[in-house]
Amino acid sequence: MMSIKLRNESLLLNALYQFAVGVGLLILISPAVAQQKQPQTRARDFGGTWILDKSRSTLGVSQFGKTKLKISHRDPKLKITRILEMNSIFAVDVGKITSTEPIEDFVYYTDTRGEKNRSVFDPTVSLSGIRTDTAWEDDKIIVRSSDKRSSSQMDTTETWELSPDGKTLIETTTIVLTSHTLTTRSVFNRVEK
């Protein structure tokens, strides 16, 4: 009877020991597994000053001067200031825009909280702002918005991506209207970090 009791206690202790070892291994392995699931691409830094490369860009390329972006990026906040440096012959004060004044600041949050920005395509429309939703998709930042006016709907998707060497920034914008779709591509070269 005593040997059965000792044997049961020994089996119980052995089971408890195996359980404790299993839990210990789970505690040690869990952070490594969780770390592997998080995308490593989010460390890409879009910050810096960028100049539009007109020869590699489509539609919307200004012939009146240089288009420049100043980007501040501390994930999840991405602030983009668009600047048009007008040629001296066209450097006239027209409302808010002068020769080197920012056209507009756009602030995005890549954690999908959403934000309000004015339209890139027509800053005078919807002065209260258009709701944009921003998120990482792989190593790209995707900004989506939807704007409905009277009977028309405009859905816009902006895709921001860096070249592998970090020297080129590509903005691809797709606008879907009720009757057609337009896609533009703006290629920017980094001039300073």
Judgement on whether residues 15 and 88 belong to the same structural domain of the protein: no
pLDDT of residue 5: 54
Judgement on whether residues 33 and 45 belong to the same structural domain of the protein: no
What is the domain extent for residue 18?
A: 1-38
Classify 55 in phi/psi space as left (phi over 0), alpha (psi -120 to 50) or beta: alpha
Judgement on whether residues 6 and 86 belong to the same structural domain of the protein: no
Q: How many domains does the chain have?
A: 2
Judgement on whether residues 136 and 187 belong to the same structural domain of the protein: yes
Burial 39-72 (b: 16+ CB within 10 A, else e): eeeeebebbbbbbbbeeebeeeeeeebebbbbbe
The tokens for 173 are: 């914008």
Judgement on whether residues 106 and 185 belong to the same structural domain of the protein: yes
pLDDT of residue 158: 94
pLDDT of residue 48: 95
pLDDT of residue 84: 81
Judgement on whether residues 34 and 44 belong to the same structural domain of the protein: no
Judgement on whether residues 27 and 44 belong to the same structural domain of the protein: no
The tokens for 94 are: 């027209």
Judgement on whether residues 31 and 55 belong to the same structural domain of the protein: no
Side chain identity at 144, as an amino acid letter? R
Q: Which of helix, strand or coil describes residue 138? A: coil
Judgement on whether residues 18 and 74 belong to the same structural domain of the protein: no
Q: What is the pLDDT along the chain (193 residues), one digit of tens a residue?
A: 555 555 556 655 555 556 555 545 446 555 554 444 444 444 588 999 999 999 999 865 556 678 899 999 999 999 999 888 776 554 444 444 445 555 778 999 999 999 988 765 554 444 457 889 999 999 999 999 988 776 778 889 999 999 999 999 999 999 998 888 999 999 999 998 7
CA–CA gap between residue 112 and residue 135 (Å, rounded):
5
Reported in sequence order, the residue ranges of the chain that DSSP labels E, i.e. its strands, are: 48-52, 65-74, 77-86, 102-109, 115-117, 130-137, 140-149, 152-162, 168-176, 181-192
CA–CA gap between residue 163 and residue 36 (Å, rounded):
23
Q: Please report which residue ranges of the chain form alpha helices under DSSP H.
A: 2-37
pTM above 0.75, yes or no: no
Judgement on whether residues 34 and 6 belong to the same structural domain of the protein: yes
CA–CA gap between residue 124 and residue 169 (Å, rounded):
27
Q: Quote the DSSP letter at residue 111.
A: B
Q: What is the end-to-end Cα distance of the chain in Å, rounded?
A: 79
CATH code of 157's domain: 2.40.128.20
Judgement on whether residues 11 and 87 belong to the same structural domain of the protein: no
CA–CA gap between residue 83 and residue 103 (Å, rounded):
5
Judgement on whether residues 45 and 34 belong to the same structural domain of the protein: no
pLDDT of residue 41: 45
Burial class (CB in 10 A: 0-12, 13-18, 19+), 128: exposed
